[in-house]
Amino acid sequence: MGPLRRVTLWILCASSCISGARAAGCPRDDLAYSGYQVKSLRIVSPFAYFNAATSGFDDLKKRLPLQEGAPFSQHVMGLGVPLIRESVQDGGAGSNQKLKVVVVTAHTEDCDQEAHTLNVVYWAFTNIFTPEFSHTFEGRSAEVQRPSTTGAQLGTAGHYTVKPLFGYDAARHGYGGLDLVSDVPFGPWQHIDLHSSLSANSKLVSADATGAFDSHYAGLKHAESRFGYHYQELPAGSAILKESKLVAQFLASTRELREGGLSLRYGAALEGGHQQSSGIGPSMPNSSFGALRFYFGGTQRSGQHALTASYGGELGTTLTNRLLDFDKHVVDIGYTRRFLKVPKGDDLTPPGGTVHKPWDLELRATGGFINDRGRVPAAERFFGGNQVQPLLAGDSWVIPANALIRSIPQNQLAGLDNSGAFGGTRFYSGNLTLAKALWGRPMLPRGLATDPNFIPELRAAILTAKGTLEDRYKAADPAYQAALKELAGQLNAIETLVQQLTAALGQLTPSALAQPPVAAAVKAIKGRIPVLTSMLKSAKAGKSTAAATLVNFQLPHAVTEIQNLEKLLATSGLASALEAATNTMKADLAKVNSRSVKDAAREYAKKEFSVPQKVLNAFLYELNIFSIAPVGIFDVARVWPSDKGIRFAAGGGARLSLVNLNLTVGYAFNPNRGPNEGIGAALVKLDLTDLFR
């Protein structure tokens, strides 16, 4: 299937979802349509244009209690909601997701009072929090630049991602490529990334394996390790820069340091390989190289603001007669602001179901320098142009490694000039981007946004997610786990006493049982034993209500009944043992349910969910499934040593985000162009994304 045909099908799919949302609702309460024939039944996802979003829906539909052709029943329709919720919740299990919020609602539509038929629709909404991306400046930038695709990726857990790439810039000319990502765990790796981008005069190829984990340590909240191979061959003026290297990288981030969402990031990388260049003469010979890179910074996402500040350093060697040939230092600051009225914090209000038209402002300032202690390979120098070249591998943390100036083709700002300089050892750049969404449709379909059950169900799902976070806190709390272990020990001890009680009752003589008071006492105890056994089983399974009922009601009554029997039989021992075990269990249960543990777990859950809440709010109140946004840009940059001086860029373009297709078209003018330079530079980027399970 060709790319254009796939685009058409995906657009039709998304359009069908939205048109379904506009189907005529039924004027009366669902209960009034009992006995109507179910003409059609659908399970609908807002992300139906991603394969992974609807994977398994056909089989799930066959298992629903209500089927097409059957008489309608509001009760039977409702029975399908938990079945769909559990299936969607389990979908994508094992993927690198922190939390998954799932909401399922059911309603009728197109009720025909003459034919006595109707349609049934189940809406399945999901929102996934991915820890390494959701709370960062990069996550917010992706929501601005690729809103529909980013929003869908926040709501769909896929095992495989396929993304064809196409583009044009004046340096590489037309280029194409493919990104393939597997999220199926392979040994210690959660992700396998393959990237390729080729043109007539350039090649970019990389293969990376990434592993990640989360911890409860404040200074190591999330960490990821990456091992990969990277090859690049890019034009720089009349020269060609080539680099082939192996990379081992470690990145980590802290817990949010305060309510505003600030977290610190740090990491390091080891690189080794070979660099070579052509077309620049013998002044920069080809060489092997090795480098140690290290990074530190912070990122914050608070309300409509997002901020990043980063430092990256590099110690490099050409593996000749020096241990250190150069050291490189880069500082980057970025700020983005969205101007759009949205609810604050966890104040959920029904979405309007209308297109979101925000203003988006992004500012970025970057600078760096290289200390030449012997020899700096050509590919390590600063060139500058209209493409961001990252200092780190991956997209979870972006530190630009060169001057960004969008009126100059890639790697052309510090190409060969009249002074003979090639590449710089110092640079700075400043960038301003302003965008305004003018047209589109909201990510959340109107049928779901206006469903009166959606927000209440969403609040319930959020409470469930917070409960999961509280359980995670308790699972990592040593005092809580110790109390839980003691409680489990007492449950086992009481279970043994109940078994002994059962055996003792079986050993009573017929003459003893012939006494009416004894027979009545034995009957009462035998009636209580199955209840005790069942509740012990529930308490051992972790149901705190069962444990509380045992110590506060069932066991005290059992002790009283056993004491009465022991008085009648002139025996003792079992009642006192059960009473002592009950009192110990009551003390252990008090430790497990202590207010201090509950309050700490609740506070932990509130703080941990603050970032997913921001991502969820962006989905509900900011993102569009279709959008067109005109963009204005202004840049200033300089690279030394070069006789080209300070350079500027001014221009604009447009971003088209159409479900899983993203197109950026722009042109930046070069107002103070030098010899042999054009009046500006054009940029075209196109990518398609699909997720598979």
pLDDT digit string, tens, across residues 457-497: 888 888 888 888 887 777 777 777 777 788 788 888 888 88
Q: Please report the pLDDT score of residue 400 as a whole number.
A: 93
Q: Is the pLDDT of residue 9 over 70?
A: no
The number of angstroms, rounded, from the C-alpha of 332 to the middle of its chain's C-alpha atoms is: 25
409 closest CA partner among 71, 676, 20? 676
477-598 maps to which CATH number? 1.20.120
Residue 268 has pLDDT above 90, yes or no: yes
Among 588, 557, 578, residue whose Cα is nearest residue 498: 578
All residues at 6 or more sequence positions from 663 whose CB lies less than 8 Å from its CB, including other chains: 655, 656, 657, 684, 685, 686
Helix residue ranges, H only, 435-573: 446-449, 454-476, 478-506, 510-513, 516-540, 544-549, 555-569
| pLDDT score of 277 | 78
* Residues near 212 by beta carbon (within 8 Å), at least 6 away in sequence: 96, 132, 190, 191, 222, 223, 224, 225
CB 133 within 8 A of CB 151: no
First-to-final CA distance of the chain: 19
pLDDT tens digits, residue range 552-565? 888 888 888 888 88
Q: What is the DSSP string of 387-413?
A: S--BSSSSSSS--B-S-B-TTS-TT-T
The answer to whether 328 touches 598, Cβ cutoff 8 Å, is no
Decide if pLDDT at 568 tops 70.
yes
User: How would you label 198-207 residue by residue, b for 16+ Cβ within 10 Å and e otherwise?
Assistant: ebeebbbbbe
pLDDT at 272: 93
Residue 321 pLDDT > 50? yes
Instruction: Identify the H or E element spanning 74.
Output: helix 74-90
Rounded average pLDDT over 201-212: 92
Does the pLDDT at position 608 exceed 80? no
Identity of the residue numbered 548: A
Whether pLDDT at 693 is above 70: no
| CATH match of 137-443+623-692 with 2.40.160.50 | yes
Answer for the pair 430, 637: CB distance below 8 angstroms, yes or no: yes
CATH of region 3-129, choose from 3.40.50.1820, 3.10.20.310, 3.40.50.720, 1.10.760.10: 3.10.20.310
In this structure, the number of other CB atoms found within 10 A of the CB of residue 181 comes to 19
CA distance 275 to 656: 38
Residues in the chain: 693
What are the tens digits of pLDDT across the range 637-691? 999 887 778 999 999 999 888 767 788 899 999 998 877 788 998 888 887 765 5
Least confident of 130-144, 212-226, 264-278, 362-376: 130-144
For the chain, give the longest Cα–Cα distance: 119
Report the range of poorest mean pLDDT among 375-384, 521-530, 549-558, 592-601.
592-601
What phi-psi label fits residue 659: left (phi over 0), alpha (psi between -120 and 50 degrees) or beta? left
Instruction: Reply yes or no on whether the pLDDT at 600 is more than 90.
Output: no
Of 517, 494, 516, 511, the C-alpha closest to 574 is 494
Q: What pLDDT is recorded for position 626?
A: 83
pLDDT tens-digit map of 22-73: 456 688 888 889 999 999 999 988 877 666 677 788 888 999 999 999 999 9
Region of 478 on the Ramachandran plot (φ > 0 left; ψ -120 to 50 alpha; else beta): alpha
583, with CB counted inside 10 A (0-12, 13-18, 19+), is middle
Are the C-beta atoms of 144 and 301 separated by less than 8 Å? Answer: no
| pTM listed for this prediction | 0.74
Tokens of 581: 């075990």
What are the residue boundaries of the structural domains of the chain, listed by start?
3-129, 137-443+623-692, 477-598
The residues, ordered by sequence, that sit 6+ positions from 2 with a Cβ below 8 Å of its Cβ are none
3-state DSSP call for residue 606?
A: helix
pLDDT-derived band at 87, boundaries 50, 70, 90 = confident
Q: How high does pLDDT run on average in the chain?
A: 82
